[in-house]
Amino acid sequence: MKITTAGESHGKGLFCIIEGLPAGLRLDLEEIDRYLALRQGGYGRGGRQKIERDRAEVLAGVRNGVTLGSPVCLAVWNRDYENWKAYMAPEGCDTAARTLTAVRPGHADLAGLKKFGGEDARNVLERASARETCIRVAAGTVCRQFLRALGVEVSGYVRAVGSVCDGREYPFEALADRSPVLFMLDQEAEARAVAEIDACRAAGDTLGGVVEVRAKGLGSGFGSCMTYPEKLDARLTAALMSVQAIKGVEVGIGFAAARSRGSAVHDEIFYDEGKGYYRKTNRAGGIEGGMSNGEEIVLRAAMKPIPTLMQGLATVDVRTHAGMRAAAERSDICAVPACEVIAESALCCELAAALRERLGGDEMREIEQHFRRMVT
């Protein structure tokens, strides 16, 4: 399975092509739009979310709501394009009217100009923008429906916002009760997080946080210990690291394992005639030796604060080399809830790819039979 996205933040829209989806998968198009709406929600979001009302349109690969086995093409159109058409139209536009030469710290601006050339960072930022993630959420929801058809469910929640952290552990079923405000499970912690977001807004600053995403029902044996690129943890952590603003990913207890003794890290193995091999703990996060071990997949991702600050950060102009304050275009104070939805989608995409590679098959009934034989 291969997923390719295209599009710019203020261009006509965002697009993706999903290759390798089997025939016979019935798609719930309304669910795609629900996840797009979730991505736009959460306390602390910025003005762009008031402009866009993201909806996905299927352009190819689906007939009467069912995949054909051919590449599926999705589009999410940018409503804001009408306000930027004069500066962004591919057919011809006034590029000089919206140049950005004061490169912004924490963004792709300066590194991108050095790599791709030119002096206008807009040619870089338009693609590097987190606006791209809306189409990844659309693609991820399609992959979520493929996984669900096999009995694999993906969910998650916000574990920390700024200095406020919820250190409790929750069963998978409890994740459905996360709050719509910040996608947290502890109401008291969420109230403190909202107060910290408000303080940042007043100071012209931003906040990051930690999201936890989980997958249940995968079974064992996906991934490989034989070649490093096939290691499931390598693939899944890379998928999360590809999300804009993610600066760290851990599997299971992650970095805490380095501070603990082996007896408090490794999951002991037991056997029962009824359920077979099992573990009473899941510190490994469902992955051992690069392969799923039948327990829940547990990943956490650390999101840095959005680098566009209303107070501005010190930078230089690439044309004059003069020092100045970085420009502050529309920005979020906190986008951690959106990051959680995006992280789930990235996990869905990579898990779906891993399953397709091992299961083979061209249509859903065949793939479902292959999956049942492997997990039972």
pLDDT in tens, 140-171: 999 999 999 999 999 999 999 999 999 999 99
Reading the block at residue 282, the tokens are 């899941």
User: Alpha carbon 10 to chain centroid distance?
Assistant: 20
Residue 262 and residue 284 in contact, taking contact as beta carbons nearer than 8 Å = no
Architecture category of domain 2-375 in CATH:
4-Layer Sandwich (3.60)
pLDDT in tens, 85-100: 999 999 999 999 999 9
Q: In terms of DSSP bridges, do strands 72-77 and 56-60 run parallel, antiparallel, or are they unpaired?
A: antiparallel
Would you kindly state where each structural domain of the chain is located, as residue ranges?
2-375
Q: How far apart are CA 129 and CA 13, in angstroms?
A: 13
Mean pLDDT of the chain: 95
Q: How crowded is residue 148: how many other Cβ atoms within 10 Å of its Cβ?
A: 15
User: Which residues, at least 6 apart from 168, have a Cβ–Cβ distance to it below 8 Å?
Assistant: 185, 186
How many residues belong to the chain?
376
The model's pTM: 0.95
Residue 338 and residue 42 in contact, taking contact as beta carbons nearer than 8 Å = yes
Reading the block at residue 10, the tokens are 């203020």
Per-position pLDDT tens, the chain of length 376: 999 999 999 999 999 999 999 999 999 999 999 999 999 999 987 655 556 689 999 999 999 999 999 999 999 999 999 999 999 999 999 999 999 999 999 999 999 999 999 999 999 999 999 999 999 999 999 999 999 999 999 999 999 999 999 999 999 999 999 999 999 999 999 999 999 999 999 998 999 999 999 999 999 999 999 999 999 999 999 999 999 999 999 999 999 999 999 999 999 999 999 888 999 999 999 999 999 999 999 999 999 999 888 778 999 999 999 999 987 766 789 999 999 999 999 999 999 999 999 999 999 999 999 999 887 6
Closest listed residue to residue 298, CA positions, set 288, 313, 307: 288
Angle CA(61)–CA(338)–CA(352) in degrees, nearest 5? 40
Q: How far apart are CA 60 and CA 63, in angstroms?
A: 8
Reading the block at residue 113, the tokens are 């100009």
